[in-house]
Amino acid sequence: MLGVRLNEAAGRAAYLAGLHAAQALIFETTGRVFKRHTTVRGEFGRLVKDEPRVDAELRGFLGRTYELKTIADYRTGPLAHISAEDARDALETARRFVDYVASLIPPNDHPMQ
């Protein structure tokens, strides 16, 4: 996406990767399913609040990148732009966020049926 200057799509994709990772962690640790963005962000924050491996960048990732999704989905005119640098930063942090969240999900020792 970045190679063809689809910065808005890249920013949205970064957010959605993090959102889905957070939803997976929530489901795997609590058995609950949340769909509302604000509820997922709040529950994720609650789950990792005492986790020392979560730095400020990861803690704020969903909130910051939700703004990128909002820009991509709803804004028009001069405010409807995501810079290549912001999109690249969001994607890099999304990779780290997803990797971190995956490390928190308990292993599933049960084969799929």
CATH number at 70 reads 1.20.120
Domain count, the chain: 1
In this predicted structure, the answer to whether residue 21 has a pLDDT above a threshold of 70 is: yes
Confidence band for 104, pLDDT divided at 50, 70 and 90? confident
Q: Which domain holds residue 81?
A: 2-102
Q: Does 111 reside within a domain?
A: no
**Model confidence, pTM:** 0.87
- 1 vs 30, higher pLDDT: 30
Q: Does 113 reside within a domain?
A: no
Q: Does 109 reside within a domain?
A: no
Nearest to 40 by CA among 16, 57, 56: 16
Tokens (6 digits) for 4: 């063809």
